[in-house]
Structure 1
Amino acid sequence: MELGLLYSGGKDSTLAALLLDDFYDVTLVTAHFGVTDDWKHARDTAEATGFDFETVELDRDTAISAVERMVEDGYPRNGIQQVHLYALETVAGMRFDAVADGTRRDDRVPTVSRAQAQSLEDRYDIDYIVPLSGFGRGAVDRLVTANLDVESGPSDEIRKADYEAELRAILTDEHGTDAVDDVFPAHEQTYVTGFLTRG
């Protein structure tokens, strides 16, 4: 069965791909808005890990709407959630039998409720798979340490192909650099450069 995995090039989505690889024909799908070329980082990771890779360009109006929501809220959660659900729907509308993402059990954002998952499956006649839903951060970190070569650093330095980089760029264009600091808390990002033990 063909599965499209929403992919950023980070540790969670790469670990999700590993867990799904024995059961599905996994294609890593990076959704972007065409604002930056950060999607190329995900492509490079896909090449390094041997997975098929595609991109899908999302409607920029969704990004603009998400940024305005973040400015209004003063934090990124609802805007990122909005973009994630839109990206899942976009990938679900492609040719895949199943879609997946790298969300973990203890993620605060993005999340997909049971009702949202069921709606996605019913409307697109696909399966929605969340391979890390039973894994907490500690378990994910131990598996990543044992299997993946990872670079990490502050979110404004590590460039992977998640929504945040493009949303930051739009936020800067629309509201200035101070708005980015006001909306996004400092946190660490990861970028996978390959496998440690996989042949």
Structure 2
Amino acid sequence: MELGLLYSGGKDSTLAALLLNDFYDVTLVTAHFGVTDDWKYARDTAEATGFDFETVELDHDAAIEAVERMAEDGYPRNGIQRVHRHALETVAGMRFDAIADGTRRDDRVPTVSRAQAQSLEDRHGVDYIVPLSGFGRGAVDRLVAATLDVESGPSDEINKADYEAELRALLVREHGEKAVDEVFPDHEQTYVTGFLSRR
């Protein structure tokens, strides 16, 4: 069965790919808005880890709506939720039998409710799988430390193909540099560069 995994090149989505690889033909899918070329970092990680890779361009209006929501709210949660749901819908409409993401049990954003997951599956005829839903941050960190070569640092310094980089760029364009600091809290991002050793 073919599975499309929403992919950023970070530790969570890479670990999710490894967990699913024994059961599915996994294709890493980086969804983007065409605002930056950061998707290339995810492509590089896919090559380093040996997974098939594709990109899909999302509706630019969804990004604009998310940015306006974040600017209005003063925090990113609702905007990122909107973009994640849009990305899942887009990938679900592709050729895959199943779709997945790298969200963990204790993630605050993005999240998908049981009702949203069921609706997605019913409307698109796919299975929605969340392989890290039983893993907390500590468990993920230990598995990653034993398996993956990872770079980490502040979110504005790590090259990663997640929604945040493009949303930051749009926020600057629409509302200025100061808006990014007002909306996004400081946090650490990860970028996978390969395996520590082959499994």
Q: TM-score, normalised by structure 1?
A: 0.99
SS in 1 for 2:105: coil
Moved over 3 A (4+): none
- State the AA in 2 paired with 1:34: G
- State the AA in 2 paired with 1:133: S
- State the AA in 2 paired with 1:122: D
What residue in structure 2 maps to residue 123 of structure 1? 123
Distance 1:174 1:126 in 2: 36
The alignment of Structure 1 onto Structure 2 pairs a total of residues equal to 199
- State the AA in 1 paired with 2:124: Y
What residue in structure 2 maps to residue 140 of structure 1? 140
Quote the offset at 1:64 in angstroms. 0.3
Per-residue CA deviations over 1:133-155 (Å, capped at 9, x if unaligned) read 00000000000000000000000
Quote the offset at 1:159 in angstroms. 1.5
Distance 2:53 2:10 in 1: 14
Distance 2:116 2:162 in 1: 21
What residue in structure 2 maps to residue 13 of structure 1? 13
- State the AA in 1 paired with 2:28: L
What residue in structure 1 maps to residue 160 of structure 2? 160
Sequence identity, in percent?
87
Per-residue CA deviations over 1:82-134 (Å, capped at 9, x if unaligned) read 00000000000000000000000000000000000000000000000000000
- In the alignment, structure 2 segments of 5+ residues that lack a partner are none
SS in 1 for 2:170: helix
SS in 2 for 1:153: strand
Distance 1:72 1:123 in 2: 31
- State the AA in 1 paired with 2:76: P
SS in 1 for 2:56: strand
What residue in structure 2 maps to residue 66 of structure 1? 66
Distance 1:58 1:47 in 2: 23
